[in-house]
Every structure is written in C-alpha cells, then in structure tokens.
C-alpha cells in the first residue's frame, strides 16, 4: 500500500502523541491496553495480542482484541484470557521456534507474515482452530519484540489482519506499518520498564516504611499493632471524606497520589518512637522503671513489721526475765497488732496508688505524704524515709503512669518524628509527609504538642491522622495502663474531645455519620468491646445534612 508524504507525516505525528500518552499513563493495565490499541489504530489492524515475558521464560497473554468479532479480553476488560502462556523453551531447554511469538523473542527480530495459512515456518494450528470455531480468517500477522533501552525483550506485540481503509479488505502489513509498530514497541518497552522500576521502588519504599512501623510495634508488647492500625483508620476516614456529599467537607477531595501521601504519613507517624526508651513506653505502673519498684516498697514494709515485732519482743523479754509464754504475749499485744494492721493497710494503699488508672484526690496526696514520712533502717544501717522523694513524685502522678519527665520523653517522639522525616529527600508527591505525620498530637485549640498548632494551622490530612491516633489508643486492648474499653465509651470520650476543641469537629461528624468506628471495630476489636451505640449519648455529635 502506497503512503503519501503527508500521510507519513501524519502517522509520525500520531506516533509522537502516542509516546507522550504512554509516558503519562500510570495504571499498568491501561498502559498495556493503550499500547495495543494504538498499534492497531496505526496499522488499521483488525486484531491484536500483547504478551509479557515472565521470569520463568514464558509469554503471558495480557490483552486480546479482535474488533470484527467484538472480542476484548484481559487488560481493562476484567475478563481473563483462557490461553496457557507460551513457553520459550521446551523441557530440554531447546528454543520454541515453531511458535511465531516465541520465535520473535528468541530471534529478537520482527516477523511479518502476509498469510498465516500459507506459511510453513511456524505452527498456526491453534490459529486455525480459533478461526474454525469463530468463523474467522486470520491472514496477515505482524509480530514485533518489545525491546527496552537495556536491550532486554520484555514482551511481544502481535497484530492480525491489516485492513485496507476504503474496502476493509485484508492486506499484508506494509514496511511502513512494520517500522511504525517497531518504533511504538520500543517506546512501549521503555515505558513499561520504567513503570516497572518505579513500581519496584515504590514497593521497596512501602515495605521499608512498614518495616519501620513493625520495628516500633515490636519494641513494646503494649503498642504492638498501633502503627499498623492507625493507617487503617486514616484510610477509612480519607475514603469517607472523599465521597461525602453533605456537610462542611463535601467539597474536599484527594487524588490517588494525595491519598497515598497521607497513607505514608500515617505509617510513619510514630517513627520517632524508635528513640524512646522501652522502660518509658512499657511503663505499666507509677513506680515502674526497669522493674516495678513496688516490690522494694513491699520489702520495706516487711522490715517495718519485723522491727515492730522485735521491739515488742525486747520489751516482753525484759518483763518476763526469761520465763513465760512469749507467743501468747505477742498474740495478745493490742498495740503491736494495731501497728501491724496499720502497716498492712498502708502497704495496700501504696499498691493502689501505684496503679495509674485513677485520678488522685487531695486526701490521697496527703495519705501518700504521711506514709512516705515513716522512718526505717535500710540495709546500710541508715535511718531513712520509707519512700524516696522520686518515688513520692511518681506515686503523686494524677493520671496514667508517667511522670512529667517521662511524659516529656514520650512527647519528644513527635519532634524526633518530624526531624527524621524532614531529613528525607522526598519526590514531589510526598513532600507533605512530615507535616501530616508531625501533627497527630496537636489539638484544635492549640494546646497540643510539639508546636501548639491550632486547627486553622493544620491541614485536613494532619487532623485525620490525629483522630485515627486517638481512636486507636482508646480502643486498644494492649495498653499496660488500662483495660480495653467498650466502643461506646471510646466514642463518648472522642465526642467530648470534639466539644473541648481537641479534635476536628467536622471530621468527627463524618467519622460517626459514615460509621467508620463500626467498620474498624468489626475488623480489629474483640466482640466483647462492640456494644450498642446510642447516638444521643455521644457528646457533640451532629448528624450531617
């Protein structure tokens, strides 16, 4: 078929446009589809097949098109191609030169066949069977290896039945057709290779950030799973906000790249905890450091009891002058018994104050001071107070188990997170990861940490991670300082945080309206935690309208 200069120029311009389109396409299936469809359009082919080369040296059917038969399988069609992959070599390692697609790869050259039925070089029995079944006549074949910039053949582009534009008569593929498709196949191979490399780098990056998250979770049995669960809640909330069609956030949306950026930030939001000492993260009681010092206090009380008994014994012995029933005297000594009962009561009170779940009243603080003032003789024969100043400070902690210094150590993990994340050389679509991850302990009223940001200084994405972090902590069953609380209680606390202007009010309403809490609970919480939710009992919740 003759081609005019104008026609050739038009085809070259079209080829250039195709190259630009291939470079812009990010979805793998759509990319393969685009390659085959554009090759068919350039040559006016009726059908085509695109194969990719697998690591085990086979050609996998990716996309199959035949326009006149309205056949579209593989690729974006969602329909599987019911053909086995073509082996490049047999079991003995001999090349499969009788199948045209395999021979194309093995020889590394284009195969242009005017009529498959008259060709004696290749086995077209499968083609004839297909034709008999479908009432078709496969005639001209153009089979082109897809060779990338590293000279690796990564697949095959095969076109069937070039059609004359005016008459739709099947004709052989011309030399210009062959050159155009070879050029397209080369561009496509480079694009696919680059896309594969980018995907591989992304998979490596994703695996690395998950490895960091796993390392942090493994650092403490009490936070195991936190870094994995926060991204789950964040993604649920992001998806809900993205499709919500009512309320203040109805016009807010994120692209796939922006959602990925948020997900990365959610995975890395606690990466600074890698520097936090385990004894602080794992602190289950107020007196715990490397171990729970309540046992040392127990021993001191036993020393006090022993001394009380010894002192009474000495007095009894003086009175008895070596005669009489000492045991009976001790058992009937009301003063001694009162002392022992009081010591035991004080020990139980200290054990109660050592638990971090309850707030302390003024009477409790006074009681701790009175007990701490008791005097005993330590193993070095020194007369000291029963409790040290540092132990008293720990027992006087109002809520939780962390002292002010320990709380500062914990809080510092966010500053470390920001510092670590800001040191990384991000691509353009991930530049806001430090901001999103670093805001999960900020509050809308500016009382959070580390930067005391207010709500209008935070992105919506950062506020999403903040809610996800709080909700995961409230519902977690693996914390040392609290038992797993029912879902309804967690939501009441979260609702109160909305009223206190600690979390984003609009995001909380979406969280409730879309029942994200329930979707998460059904997947990650125990059945005993999932109780009935009465919306009227959730503070601050306003249904969207």
Q: What separation in angstroms does the CA of 481 have from each of 279, 288, 398, 474, 476?
A: 13, 12, 13, 12, 11
Quick one: pLDDT at residue 1?
47
Give the three-state DSSP class for 426. coil
Quick one: pLDDT at residue 326?
59
Cβ neighbours for 272, distance < 8 A, ≥ 6 positions apart: 412, 413, 414, 415, 416, 417, 418, 419, 420
Extended beta strands in 56-130, E state? 58-66, 71-74, 86-87, 111-113
Within 373-503, where are the H helices? 389-395, 404-422, 433-438, 460-475, 487-499
Quick one: pLDDT at residue 217?
77
Under 8 Å between Cβ of 152 and 121: no
| Distance of alpha carbon 265 from alpha carbon 392, whole angstroms | 40
Neighbours of 461 (CB within 10 A): 26
| Distance of alpha carbon 169 from alpha carbon 162, whole angstroms | 8
Quick one: pLDDT at residue 422?
94
Q: Which residue stretches of the chain have pLDDT < 50?
A: 1-2
pTM above 0.85, yes or no: no
Burial class of 380 by CB neighbour count within 10 A (0 to 12, 13 to 18, 19+):
exposed
Quick one: pLDDT at residue 283?
64
User: Structure tokens of 522?
Assistant: 């059904």
Q: What is the DSSP string of 116-150?
A: GGG--SS--HHHHHHHHHHT-----EEEEEEE-TT
Quick one: pLDDT at residue 282?
64
**Nearest residue to 48 (alpha-carbon basis) of 61, 29, 30, 58:** 61
DSSP designation for 504: -
CA 409 to the chain's CA centroid: 25
| Distance of alpha carbon 520 from alpha carbon 472, whole angstroms | 10
| Distance of alpha carbon 222 from alpha carbon 273, whole angstroms | 13
Instruction: Give the N- to C-terminal CA distance of the chain in Å, as an integer.
Output: 65
Extended beta strands in 54-110, E state? 58-66, 71-74, 86-87
Quick one: pLDDT at residue 156?
95
Neighbours of 272 (CB within 10 A): 21
Neighbours of 133 (CB within 10 A): 8
**Nearest residue to 156 (alpha-carbon basis) of 66, 83, 54:** 54
């Amino acid at each position: 078929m003759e081609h005019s200069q104008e026609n050739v120029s038009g085809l070259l311009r079209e080829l250039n446009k195709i190259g630009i389109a291939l470079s812009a396409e990010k979805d793998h299936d759509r990319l393969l589809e685009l390659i085959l469809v554009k090759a068919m359009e350039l040559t006016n082919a009726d059908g085509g097949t695109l194969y990719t080369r697998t690591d085990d040296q086979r050609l996998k059917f990716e996309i199959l098109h035949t326009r006149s038969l309205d056949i579209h399988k593989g690729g974006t069609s969602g329909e599987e191609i019911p053909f086995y992959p073509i082996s490049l070599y047999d079991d003995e390692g001999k090349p499969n030169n009788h199948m045209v697609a395999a021979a194309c790869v093995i020889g590394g050259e284009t195969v242009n066949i005017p009529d498959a039925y008259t060709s004696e070089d290749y086995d077209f029995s499968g083609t004839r069977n297909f034709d008999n079944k479908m009432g078709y006549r496969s005639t001209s074949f153009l089979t082109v290896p897809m060779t990338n910039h590293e000279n690796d053949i990564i697949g095959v582009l095969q076109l069937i039945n070039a059609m004359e534009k005016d008459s739709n008569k099947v004709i052989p593929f011309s030399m210009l057709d062959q050159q155009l498709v070879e050029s397209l196949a080369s561009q496509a191979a480079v694009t696919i290779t680059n896309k594969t490399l980018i995907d591989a780098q992304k998979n490596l990056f994703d695996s690395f950030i998950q490895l960091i998250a796993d390392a942090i979770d493994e650092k403490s049995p009490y936070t195991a799973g936190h870094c994995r669960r926060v991204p789950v809640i964040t993604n649920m909330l992001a998806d809900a906000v993205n499709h919500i069609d009512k309320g203040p956030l109805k016009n807010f949306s994120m692209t796939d790249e922006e959602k990925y950026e948020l997900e990365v930030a959610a995975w890395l939001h606690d990466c600074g905890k890698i520097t936090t000492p385990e004894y602080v993260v794992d602190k289950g009681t107020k007196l715990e450091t490397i171990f729970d010092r309540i046992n040392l206090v127990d021993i001191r009380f036993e020393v006090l009891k022993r001394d009380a008994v010894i002192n009474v014994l000495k007095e009894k012995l003086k009175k008895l002058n070596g005669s009489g029933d000492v045991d009976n005297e001790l058992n009937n000594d009301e003063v001694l018994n009162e002392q022992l009962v009081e010591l035991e009561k004080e020990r139980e009170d200290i054990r109660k104050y050592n638990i971090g779940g309850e707030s302390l009243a003024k009477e409790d603080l006074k009681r701790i001071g009175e007990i701490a003032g008791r005097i005993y003789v330590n193993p070095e024969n020194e007369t000291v107070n029963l409790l040290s100043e540092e132990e008293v400070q720990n027992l006087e902690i109002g809520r939780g188990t962390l002292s002010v210094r320990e709380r500062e150590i914990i809080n510092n993990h966010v500053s470390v997170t920001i510092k670590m994340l800001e040191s990384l050389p991000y691509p353009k679509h991930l530049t806001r990861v430090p901001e999103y991850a670093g805001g999960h302990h900020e509050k809308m009223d500016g009382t959070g940490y580390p930067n005391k940001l207010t709500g209008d200084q935070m992105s919506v994405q950062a506020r999403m991670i903040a809610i996800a972090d709080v909700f995961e902590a409230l519902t977690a069953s693996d914390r040392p300082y609290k038992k797993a609380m029912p879902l309804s209680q967690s939501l009441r606390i979260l609702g109160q945080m909305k009223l206190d202007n600690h979390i984003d009010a609009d995001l909380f309403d979406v969280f409730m309206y879309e029942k994200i809490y329930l979707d998460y609970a059904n997947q990650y919480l125990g059945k005993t935690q999932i109780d009935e939710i009465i919306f009227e009992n959730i503070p601050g919740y306003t249904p969207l309208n």
